[in-house]
Amino acid sequence: MWRRGGVPRPHRSSPRSRRRRQCHGRDRGSHQGVSDVPKLRSFIAIELDRPTKERIAGWVSRIREPDDRIRWTAPATWHVTLRFLGDIDPNFVAPLRDTLREQLRDVPPFRTEWDRLAPFPPGRRPIVMALHPKHDADLRILAAKVEKALAELRMSRERRRFNAHLTLGRFRGRAPSPVPSPHSEGAPIVIPVREVTLFESELAPRGAVHHEMGRVVLAG
């Protein structure tokens, strides 16, 4: 079942969203190209409910230390990205909605456990501090279904390997040295996955603001 969210107003507070930009489209001859219609900077993600955000916020407040190298993000922005889309035409929202609904119609709801706060991506130049899952098999299956839906709409394939993470903070400027050590919690945070949401990400001076454009409720 798809529950429609209101498509955001064409007016954008950020000048960047007013530019004419290359967009993704269903058909290369009709939807792609330069258009006068403001594009929507979009992504597909798992949205967290309020109780889950409260549990994560409480957990993070107990373990994090004051560190001016990290800008911690607000719970309102927390989500698990399945696929970043970039700039899309508003007319692409409806076919995307229908194709996602078709691809996900047999996917049942599931639960995931998250138990480790660590820099992401791993290595010497991390960008964010993120929460990581104990196991990600179900998340990978879901992301693959989303990717298949996008392939049907002739969108270019994501070349990077899907790596589930939940961004909680961003490093200011260059990556810190030494890189903060991972932290594990004894009792994992359970994140239920019941639906997939299509968001617009509006760039603003104080950070991105996310507008829901619709969601697919998983089977069952």
Closest by CA to 83, choosing from 42, 31, 117, is 42
Q: Is residue 187 pLDDT above 90, yes or no?
A: no
**How many angstroms from the chain centroid is the CA of residue 95?**
20
2-217, CATH topology level: Cyclic Phosphodiesterase; Chain: A, (3.90.1140)
How do residues 4-42 score in pLDDT, each as one tens digit? 444 443 333 343 443 334 444 444 333 444 557 788 999
Report d(CA 72, CA 124) in Å as an integer: 20
Tell me the C-alpha to C-alpha distance, in Å, between residue 99 and each of 31, 65, 170, 179, 214: 16, 44, 33, 41, 13
